[in-house]
Amino acid sequence: MIGFNVDVDGQSHLREIAEAGGGLYTDAGNEEQLQESFEQAKQIIKEWKEWKSGAQKDLYKQKSEQRTKAIFQENDWVHLNMDEDFVMRDVLSELLDEQYITKEAMRYFEEERGKREKAYQEVQETTYQELLDEIEKNYEEKLDEVIDQYDENIGDE
């Protein structure tokens, strides 16, 4: 808030109003001082806009990095599950070839292996989606905080 050519009593009231609204008060006794106050206000607004833009970019970058890590984690899980599945198939085939198990037992173990593989896949998909949802939720919350802080300091300009 800028007081232009206001007496001491008026300045006091304007200062109280500015403080109550969470703003700042400055006094301008002439046109030159008024113009200087406007320029200072423009500079503050410019700096807040730059801060907001930078904060938004930083948040988006963090979200992208977290999503990339989640993708790599999901890929690692898939590969580990596939590796384990291949080992189990090889062991079962070897046991059948060496006649340690019957074909009936082999079918049973294959069925159980398939159930295990499906369960692992469901866990992987659910966990991955929950992680992505959490990343997005955190991003939105932080973005709202940035916008709120900007609005608290700049408002409608």
Model pTM? Answer: 0.72
The pLDDT tens digits of the residues spanning 26-61 come to 776 777 877 887 888 889 899 999 999 999 999 999
The domains of the chain are located at 2-154
Q: How confident is the model at residue 4 (pLDDT cuts 50, 70, 90)?
A: low
Interacting residues of 150 by C-beta distance below 8 A, sequence separation 6+: 48, 51, 52
148 Cβ neighbours under 8 A, 6+ residues apart: none
